Amino acid sequence: MAKKCIGCGIELQSENSSRNGYLPENVLNGENKELLCQRCFKIKNYGQYIPVRMTREDYRDEVRKSIESAKVAIPVFDIIDFEGSFDDEILDILREMDSIIVINKLDLIPDEKHPSEVANWVKERLAEEGVAPLDIAIVSTKNGYGINGIFKKIKHFYPEGVTALVLGVTNVGKSSIINKLVGAKRSTVSKFPGTTLKSIEVKIPYTNITLIDTPGLIPEGRFSDLVCQECNQKIIPANEISRKTYKIDKDRVILLGGMIKLVNKTEGDLKPIFSLYASKGVTFHETNLERAEEILGNTALLNPPCEKCIDEYNKNNIITETLTIETGEELVFKGLGWLSVKRGPLTVEVTYPEAGELIVRNAFI
């Protein structure tokens, strides 16, 4: 049987160093059974990113192949980027199959938010998408909260054991969760998306539970996927998220990185109050209309995008849309952050790349 990389699951080969799965021949044929392909080795040891050469269709085909063997799906969602955690392909699977949903990165939301409130909010959002899971586990792989709860929930529904399909788009923390469940560093955990290339079966030691780790799909419409890898990593919050509250005059501008321009267009004397949330790696800059035009594109002041990826970013078709957001609603910039209206309505003109998606939802925080 062909040897596979324990990090990403790709079949190993020593013929072509520019193809996925490459490993020097002496290592491939050596004694070591726990082999990592060159790409995973570099990611793991040097934090060096080597882009994945796989298409979105390849990802989709690979996930579909594993569905037959599994009885339950375990999709992983990121609570801080909930809208950026789905993909139609994943939702379709969840409409067909039983699922136990794992919501990760609880550590990133404010303490006052109780996990049960988070679970209820998620349940409502999923119901809107036509998904009714068996159960929801709220966890943080960072501090270990709730990991045991995942075992308990699987055991409750499948006391005899089960094969579970672990699904998730890139960057939600799917690899981190598998590592926690299996208790060993099996999958390549990194801040880089698309690190698992093929489905990998892993048994959780001392249980009858087998996990099938599927590749991470890259969903449509995430602003974080429109910039280079370094900027992408800045947009994914690691420790805390930034929050800033505004009460600004009509025609004042807020620039979210150099990616989104927000102009307050609310009429009347009562100024709306709203908060912006995003990763600490994204600059928030308040200014006027004229100055905004001057500084847009200045990567020293506003980022992401950075100097390296701004030209590529500017090739996007930029559009402007005016939206009215009511008190208690949020405007989500998929994969980037959100704006929460505390006292509305807020009429806001948003200028953004058409490839990114805006969503209005009921407030989460």
**Footprint on this chain of ligand GDP (rule: CB under 6 A):** 104-105, 107-108, 140-142, 168, 170-176, 189-191, 193, 216, 236, 238
Residues 105/80, Cβ–Cβ less than 8 Å: yes
Residue among 171 and 266 whose Cβ is closer to ligand GDP? 171
Residue among 108 and 302 whose Cβ is closer to ligand GDP? 108
In terms of Cα–Cα distance, which of 277, 286, 294 is closest to 330?
277
Shortest distance, position 50 Cβ to ligand GDP, whole Å: 15
Residue among 76 and 341 whose Cβ is closer to ligand GDP? 76
C-alpha–C-alpha distance, residues 270 and 342, integer Å: 13
Residue among 143 and 207 whose Cβ is closer to ligand GDP? 143
Shortest distance, position 211 Cβ to ligand GDP, whole Å: 13
Shortest distance, position 120 Cβ to ligand GDP, whole Å: 20
Residue among 193 and 221 whose Cβ is closer to ligand GDP? 193
Tokens of 330: 């949020």
Phi (first) and psi of residue 176, to 5 degrees: -60, -40
Other CB atoms within a 10 A radius of the CB of residue 317 amount to 7
Transcribe 299-338 into DSSP letters. TTTS-SS-TTTHHHHTTSPEEEEEEEE-TTEEEEETTTEE
Shortest distance, position 179 Cβ to ligand GDP, whole Å: 8
Is the bond preceding 219 in cis, omega lying within 30 degrees of 0?
no
Interhelix angle 147-157/174-182, nearest 10 degrees: 70
Shortest distance, position 45 Cβ to ligand GDP, whole Å: 15
Residue among 360 and 365 whose Cβ is closer to ligand GDP? 365
Other CB atoms within a 10 A radius of the CB of residue 347 amount to 17
Q: CA of 288: how far to CAs of 206, 291, 302, 320, in Å?
A: 62, 6, 15, 17
Residue among 106 and 260 whose Cβ is closer to ligand GDP? 106
Shortest distance, position 102 Cβ to ligand GDP, whole Å: 10
Shortest distance, position 262 Cβ to ligand GDP, whole Å: 26
Residue among 66 and 264 whose Cβ is closer to ligand GDP? 66
Shortest distance, position 168 Cβ to ligand GDP, whole Å: 5
User: Strands 162-167, 72-78: parallel, antiparallel or unpaired by DSSP?
Assistant: parallel
C-alpha–C-alpha distance, residues 186 and 179, integer Å: 6
C-alpha–C-alpha distance, residues 157 and 155, integer Å: 6
Chain residue whose CB lies nearest ligand GDP: 173
Tokens of 304: 């992401």
Residue among 193 and 304 whose Cβ is closer to ligand GDP? 193
Shortest distance, position 327 Cβ to ligand GDP, whole Å: 29
C-alpha–C-alpha distance, residues 14 and 5, integer Å: 12
